[in-house]
C-alpha cells in the first residue's frame, strides 16, 4: 500500500487560507487579522504562518506591505497562473462557468500545439494516435489517453508554456474527463478525432490537423454543456 505523504505545516496552513478566501471568510479586498490572532485561528505557529503568507503573496493571493495589514487581492483581476492552478484544485469552490471558460482556453490552445506537434514530431504523433485507436471503450481509459495525447502534443510543440498551462489543470482534467467520457457520444467522437488526426499526420497535413482539432474542441465544449444540462 502506498501512503500519501502528509502535508507540511506551511502547506496545510496555505491550503486552509486559500479555502477561507474562496469560502469568503476573508473576502476580496479585505485585510487579514493580525498575525498572532490569525495563527491562533488556523491552529499554527507564527513562523509557519509567515511561510504560508509568503507563498500566498508569491502566487498572487494576498498583498503584503510591511507595517500594514495584509490585503486579500482580487485574485480574478490581480492573480496569475499559480492562482488559476490553485483554484482548479478546489472543485467544490469553482465558479459556475469555470469549466466552460477553461474549455474555451483549450479550444484556443489545442489547435496550435497539435499543428506544431504534427510538424515537429510526426512519427511520435502517429504512434500515439495509432495506440489511441485501440483503447478500451471505458471512460477512465479515454480520460487517461486523452490527457496523455494532449500532454505529449504540448511537449512536441516545442513551446513549454503550453505544457505548464496544461499541467496546472491535470487533477481537474481527470475529474471532468471521467464525467465527459461517460457519454458514449463523446467517446465515439474522440475516437473519430484520433482517426482523422492520424490521417493528417500520415499525409503531412499539419494545417488540416489544426482545423480538425479546432472543430473538435468546439464540439467538446458543446458536449460539456449538454452534460451539465442533464445534471441540472
φ/ψ of 89, rounded to 5, equals: -85, -5
The CATH architecture one would assign to domain 96-230 is: Up-down Bundle (1.20)
Instruction: Write down the domain spans for the chain.
Output: 9-88, 96-230
φ/ψ of 31, rounded to 5, equals: -115, 150
- pLDDT for the residue 89: 82
- pLDDT for the residue 102: 84
The CATH architecture one would assign to domain 9-88 is: Orthogonal Bundle (1.10)
Same fold across 9-88 and 96-230: no
- pLDDT 10s per residue in the chain (232 long)? 444 554 688 889 999 999 999 999 999 999 999 999 999 999 999 999 999 999 999 988 999 988 889 999 998 888 888 888 888 888 788 777 788 888 888 899 999 999 999 999 999 999 999 999 999 999 999 999 999 999 999 999 999 999 999 998 888 888 888 888 988 888 999 999 999 999 999 999 999 999 999 999 998 888 777 776 665 5
Helix (H) or strand (E) holding 107: helix 98-120
First and final CA of the chain: distance in angstroms? Answer: 38
3-state helix, strand, coil in the chain (%, to 5): 75, 0, 25
Of 47, 48, 40, 37, give the one whose Cα is nearest residue 13. Answer: 48
Of 39, 76, 46, 48, give the one whose Cα is nearest residue 60. Answer: 76
Amino acid at each position: 500500500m502506498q501512503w500519501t505523504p502528509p502535508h507540511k505545516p506551511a502547506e496545510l496552513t496555505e491550503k486552509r487560507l486559500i479555502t477561507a478566501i474562496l469560502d469568503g471568510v476573508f473576502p476580496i479586498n479585505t485585510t487579514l487579522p493580525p498575525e498572532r490572532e490569525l495563527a491562533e485561528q488556523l491552529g499554527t505557529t507564527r513562523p509557519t504562518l509567515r511561510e504560508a503568507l509568503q507563498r500566498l503573496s508569491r502566487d498572487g493571493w494576498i498583498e503584503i506591505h510591511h507595517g500594514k495589514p495584509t490585503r486579500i487581492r482580487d485574485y480574478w483581476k490581480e492573480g496569475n497562473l499559480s492562482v488559476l492552478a490553485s483554484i482548479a484544485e478546489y472543485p467544490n469552490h469553482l465558479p459556475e462557468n469555470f469549466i466552460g471558460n477553461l474549455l474555451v482556453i483549450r479550444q484556443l490552445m489545442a489547435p496550435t500545439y497539435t499543428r506544431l506537434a504534427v510538424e515537429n514530431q510526426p512519427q511520435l504523433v502517429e504512434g500515439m494516435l495509432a495506440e489511441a485507436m485501440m483503447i478500451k471503450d471505458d471512460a477512465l481509459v479515454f480520460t487517461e489517453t486523452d490527457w496523455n495525447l494532449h500532454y505529449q502534443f504540448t511537449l512536441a510543440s516545442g513551446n513549454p508554456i503550453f505544457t505548464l498551462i496544461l499541467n496546472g489543470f491535470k487533477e481537474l482534467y481527470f475529474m471532468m474527463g471521467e464525467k465527459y467520457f461517460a457519454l458514449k457520444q463523446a467517446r465515439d467522437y474522440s475516437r473519430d478525432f484520433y482517426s482523422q488526426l492520424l490521417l493528417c499526420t500520415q499525409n503531412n497535413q499539419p494545417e488540416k490537423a489544426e482545423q480538425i482539432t479546432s472543430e473538435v474542441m468546439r464540439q467538446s465544449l458543446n458536449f460539456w454543456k449538454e452534460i451539465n444540462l442533464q445534471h441540472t
